[in-house]
Structure 1
Amino acid sequence: MSPISIGILAIGMSIDAFVASLGQGATPGALPGARSGWTRVLRTSAIFGGVEAVAPLIGWGLGLVAHRYISAIDHWIAFGLLAGVGGRMVFHALARPATAPSAGPGAGPSGASRRTGWTVFATAVGTSIDAMAVGVSLALLDVQIVVVVIAVGLTTMAMTAIGTYAGGFLGQRVGRAAEVVGGIALVGLGGMILMDHLAA
């Protein structure tokens, strides 16, 4: 997998975390303006980045187990997984009402302080399920999984920090557009992989 493909994959897989962090950043009084605010951004981005990096690694391990049984059609399965995840992202983005993101229970300055690390962790796990499916597809390809995991983790940390910091300004419309672009990127990457294998 080329560096460009790894970059596309990393960005596409980090979009869910970016969209989720937009909602958290939209909590009134949550934007970094003090030391506690920056601590919150760093903690959130570290949790999202860590979980998003581990998820494809788990999927990759599961894919290795099944690889020998499906080696004849591995490129089709990889394409199906990437296209399925990307298509789901686009569908959910277009189906979501165009309203400002809700900060959820406990919104407001006092609600922001009640957001615990476990709440952020649970959100990160929820957004990483697709990344696990993508990880399965990586086991069917010739990739350096360590490089991919590092790229995904660092990209997710950066995207989450941006989303958390700018959530109050960007709102859900930007999150929807980003999710559509990320979904299309994953579908396109799956198509590139399939074409490469068919042309070989």
Structure 2
Amino acid sequence: MLSVILLAIALAMDAFSISITKGFTQKKIQKQEILWYGIFFGGFQCFMPIIGYVCGTTIRSFISTYAPWIAFILLLCIGLNMIRESITSSDEKVADIFSFKEVTLLAIATSIDAFAVGVTFAILNISLVIPCAIIGIITFLFSIVGIFIGKKLGDYFGDKFQILGGVILILLGFKILLGF
């Protein structure tokens, strides 16, 4: 259960970072808009592992022997990519408006790694219900909290949280690879 919570926190870091950014760039963000960010980010993070699982289930029998290595490589790549993105990200000016199109694209972009986690779940034959619910709830909460933090603190911590998320994914990959 602790591994699932840590995984959920790691997956939520992208959405959390973007939420912080939204908090300090959208000065007049309304409560219902904050709720929409949480619903979209949490919802996509919840359902992308399911889609990844379905895709991963079709290939599980072929690669079950290599499951720990595949899980490790997937989580390592995702974690390193998160760290790389946080180090090389540019400071783009974000408009002070809410857009369902934008929040949908952001939710998709921040949940691509959750898709890969779903593939990993399929390879390792891990049940989806509880992990997906935890991932969705934690991302929902982190998104809402991130916006409020962003409103108070600006962009000071954004990239550091994404780096932490990448490190957690890499450590989970090692945990799976080493079998403990």
* TM-score, L = length of structure 2: 0.93
C-alpha distance after superposition, 1:64-92 (max 9, x if no partner): 11000111111100110011101111111
Corresponding residue for 2:80? 87
C-alpha distance after superposition, 1:121-176 (max 9, x if no partner): 11111111111112111111242211010000000001100112221333333111
- Percentage identity across paired residues of the two chains: 31
- 1-structure distance, mates of 2:155, 2:81: 17
Structure showing greater radius of gyration is 1
Equivalent positions of 1:142-161 (< 5 A) are 142-161=125-144
C-alpha distance after superposition, 1:34-74 (max 9, x if no partner): xxx21111111011110111111100111111000111111
* TM-score, L = length of structure 1: 0.84
Which of 147, 152, 156 is the equivalent residue of 1:173? Answer: 156
Q: Which amino acid in structure 1 is aligned with residue 74 of structure 2? A: L
Structure 1: runs of 5 or more not aligned: 32-36
Equivalent positions of 1:1-200 (< 5 A) are 3-31=1-29, 37-97=30-90, 102-104=92-94, 106-107=95-96, 112=97, 115-196=98-179
Tell whether the 8 Å contact from 1:23 to 1:102 is kept in structure 2 after alignment: no
Tell whether the 8 Å contact from 2:24 to 2:155 is kept in structure 1 after alignment: no
3-state SS, counterpart of residue 70 of structure 1? helix
- 2-structure distance, mates of 1:161, 1:186: 22
- 1-structure distance, mates of 2:57, 2:109: 23
Residue correspondences, number: 180
- 2-structure distance, mates of 1:61, 1:171: 39
- 2-structure distance, mates of 1:171, 1:178: 13
Distance 1:28 1:196, change over 3 A: closer
Distance 1:13 1:134, change over 3 A: same
CA displacement at 1:27 relative to structure 2: 2.2
